[in-house]
Structure 1
Amino acid sequence: MKGIILAGGTGTRLKDLTKVTNKHLLPVYDKPMIYFPINTLKCADIDSILVVTDKRRTTDFLLLLGSGSDFGVRFTYALQESAKGIADALSKAKDFVNNDDVTVILGDNIIFGDIKELKEPLNKSCRIFLKKVEDPERFGIAYVKNGIITKIVEKPKQPKSNLAIIGLYQYKSN
């Protein structure tokens, strides 16, 4: 299993803070935000990680993360010309993934604790992690029937589900 951290977002809602650096490098308490998804992948025994970021901030990531040896992992980097969303970011990962299963996490995810399902065998083509939330209109919401996601709605005005997509996914190599 390989890991991909998507860290190309521009953080437009953070305005002045992201004029000088990528939002994923901003501190959350005592460490850069991107350390949290790195830790999530490490907890899943993933040590080969691709960081996808925008080309303007590549040097910042290289200076902070380097080869990954300080974290006990190996980092590879892929660049987006500009922030064009998750699908574009994943298209940059094709050569890295090769024929391996992959765990994808958004670079601004802060997940505490060990998610045991990350270590379980992936028997289906994908696994999308969900969480029940009290305010589903703020999130991408999954509609599930018989254990299968039938529909995803981004920030629904009148949600009929409270299962938020948390930005953590696993995909089979096929």
Structure 2
Amino acid sequence: MIIIYHTKKGIILAGGKGTRLYPLTLVTNKHLLAVYDKPMIFYPLAVLMLAGIQDILIISTSKALPAYRRLLGDGRKYGINLFYKAQKSPDGLPQAFIIGEDFIANDSVAMILGDNIFYGNNLDKLLKKAGSRKIKSTIFAYYVNNPKNYGIVDFDQKNRVKSIEEKPDNPKSNYAVTGLYFYDNRVVDYAKKLKPSHRGELEITDLNNLYLGQEDLEVEILGSDFTWFDMGTVNNLIEASKFVKNIEQRTGTKICVLEEIAYRNNWIDKKKILNVLDKYENSPYAKFLQKVAKDKIR
């Protein structure tokens, strides 16, 4: 079966002050912090690349954007096109689509939060399945023990979505909405129609409910063979780092290596991989890329 991938644009929302991580984030943007051996921003960027998306907009504070440009450049070394826009104030997740209106243009778009990690077998296939829905939206749900802290999806007996509630006092399920969303082109107009909640922000749950009301919302449940981290707290940041460390040390490989993903996607060749080795000097990251270029990693 041939699938035509419609989602061509991706957004990483990497703004905010990261106050829950103070004092770590007093002098740097949260999404530039280390998650084991890589900057946090590598992990959501890897997800969009696994989805086959090459045009990606990073939204962050005007203070942080120069650091992202120094780190990632224009994206050509990863076979992608990176763009940058400033978020003047964090007024809710749907604001990203308003800021990125010109970038999105007439395309569908995926958005991922800059502090999210997704990992699991065949993740790329699941992402491309979501991106193949031309006139739909897709969100991803994950079972959590503390549902009061998240937007929660409730299902009927046929696994269809009944409702989505933001941080409910009495959760109807334990399935949390993760920080990864695929939307068709209506998302910009829908985002503009939203009114701020009692928190003074535009709510992603309200946006998802607009799609749900049109019966155009799909939910992919990430089962126990997937791992999801929201690294908004110090404890979660540490747990995510431990997870990456355990995976990499046990397998002898690395996860979310941008050059490797680009190479597997046929966006760059071995020569481009070898060209960046000097930048990483004698680091384990560089040694891993040498193995990739020599086809020692399958």
On whether the aligned pair clears a TM of 0.5, the verdict is yes
Partner secondary structure for residue 17 of structure 1:
coil
Alignment RMSD (CA, Å): 1.7
For 1:7-156, what aligned pairs fall within 5 Å after superposition?
A: 7-113=14-120, 114-120=123-129, 121-145=132-156, 147-156=159-168
Task: Report if the CA contact (8 A) 1:55-1:79 is conserved.
Answer: yes
- The offset of 1:158, in angstroms, is 2.3
Task: Report if the CA contact (8 A) 1:102-1:170 is conserved.
Answer: yes
Aligned residues between the structures: 174
Q: Following the alignment from structure 2 to structure 1, what is the Cα–Cα distance between the partners of residues 32 and 114? A: 9
Task: Report if the CA contact (8 A) 2:62-2:87 is conserved.
Answer: yes
Q: Following the alignment from structure 1 to structure 2, what is the Cα–Cα distance between the partners of residues 143 and 28? A: 32
Cα deviations across residues 69-88 of structure 1 (Å, max 9, x unaligned)? 23221101111112222122
- Equivalent residue letter for 1:128: I
Cα deviations across residues 13-67 of structure 1 (Å, max 9, x unaligned)? 0111111111011000000111001111111111110111111211111111111
The normalised TM-score by structure 2 is: 0.55
Q: Following the alignment from structure 1 to structure 2, what is the Cα–Cα distance between the partners of residues 147 and 128? A: 14
The partner residue of 1:169 within 177, 181, 184 is 181
Q: 1:90 to 1:147 in 2, by over 3 A?
A: farther
Q: Following the alignment from structure 1 to structure 2, what is the Cα–Cα distance between the partners of residues 8 and 166? A: 17
Task: Report if the CA contact (8 A) 2:108-2:134 is conserved.
Answer: no
Partner secondary structure for residue 148 of structure 2:
helix
Q: Of Structure 1 and Structure 2, which has the larger fraction of its residues in helix?
A: 2
Partner secondary structure for residue 139 of structure 2:
strand
Q: Following the alignment from structure 1 to structure 2, what is the Cα–Cα distance between the partners of residues 56 and 83? A: 14
Greater CA drift, 155-164 or 5-14: 155-164
The normalised TM-score by structure 1 is: 0.92
Partner secondary structure for residue 117 of structure 2:
coil
Cα deviations across residues 108-157 of structure 1 (Å, max 9, x unaligned)? 11111324232122154211111122221222212234555443323223
Q: Which has the larger radius of gyration?
A: 2
Q: Following the alignment from structure 1 to structure 2, what is the Cα–Cα distance between the partners of residues 10 and 74? A: 26
Flag the structure with more relative contact order, 1 or 2, with Cα contacts below 8 A and sequence separation at least 6.
Answer: 1
Task: Report if the CA contact (8 A) 1:55-1:82 is conserved.
Answer: no
* 2:167 is equivalent to residue 160 of structure 1: no
Q: Following the alignment from structure 1 to structure 2, what is the Cα–Cα distance between the partners of residues 48 and 84? A: 24
Tell me the percent identity: 45
Q: 1:12 to 1:29 in 2, by over 3 A?
A: same
List runs of 5+ in structure 1 lacking aligned partners. none
Partner secondary structure for residue 170 of structure 1:
strand
